[in-house]
Amino acid sequence: MVRKTEKLMLRVSEILHRLDEEYGADTKCYLHHENPLQLLIATILSAQCTDARVNLVTPALFQKYPDAQAFAGADLKELEESIHSCGFYHSKARNIIACCDRLVRDYGGNVPRDIQELVTLPGVGRKTANVIRGNIFEEPSVVVDTHVGRISRKLGLTKEEDPEKVEYDLMKILPREHWIRYNMQIITLGRTICKAQSQKCEECFLQDLCPSAGSGRNSGSKGDKKKLK
């Protein structure tokens, strides 16, 4: 068991080294923002939507609603129209208004940094909370989105499907100083090489470290037929 753990940690160390070599250690959030509130709103909008699409919507949105008080007092229909192209606009608009109302009432319009407070806000789960903590407050945080969950399973770093369980698995094996940038590096990998529908294993710099390399597009989900080593 000890030897197996040691082998895993050596593989993790090499994976992180190659990620740094390929993408660098200085990573920036893909969602454009100038303050904590803007990143919070952008992250809520990014659910089931691309960052690129969100970045097209937010400049005008943030000009129209410059602070939490403005969002809290927004007309639901008008806000829905502003974010319509991000998808799920009705629930997102309701969550944004309710979230900002809480921020105004309980936090003076500011975004809290404590994860236990963040996850009580409407529309905010652990993923969004960790995005805020990691990118705004520079608190070591593991953000698990679809790319991070899928590719971490392919790499054999977790067998879990539930994002929170994946988060805890990764926290056990990743050095704290790599938590934030691991997310950004894996997202980049997932968008360019290890795409959900078309993985380019032969081009991947992690191919020899990946138990799922060449096993097909479903190797990162419960339907795995290739057993992870």
Q: Tell me the domain boundaries of the chain.
A: 2-27+150-209, 36-135
Residue, of 222 and 215, whose pLDDT is higher: 215
Instruction: Give the span between the Cα atoms of 130 and 14, in whole angstroms.
Output: 25
Torsion of CA 219, 228, 144, 171, to 10 degrees: -170
Best CA proximity match to 130, nearest among 166, 173, 94: 166
170 Cα distance to chain centroid: 13
Burial of 118 (0-12, 13-18, 19+ CB in 10 A): buried
In the chain, pLDDT over 90 holds for what percent of residues? 85
pLDDT of residue 107: 98
Banded pLDDT at 217 (limits 50, 70, 90): very low
Domain with residues 36-135, CATH architecture = Orthogonal Bundle (1.10)
Average pLDDT over residues 88-116: 98
The fold of 2-27+150-209 is Endonuclease Iii, domain 2 (1.10.1670)
Average pLDDT rounded to a whole number, residues 94-114: 98
pLDDT band at 2 (very low <50, low <70, confident <90, very high): low
Annotated catalytic residues are 127, 145
Q: Which helix or strand (DSSP H or E) is residue 80 part of?
A: helix 76-83
Q: Is the pTM of this model over 0.85?
A: no
41, 61 in Cβ contact below 8 A?
Answer: yes
pLDDT band, very low/low/confident/very high, at 25 (cuts 50, 70, 90): confident
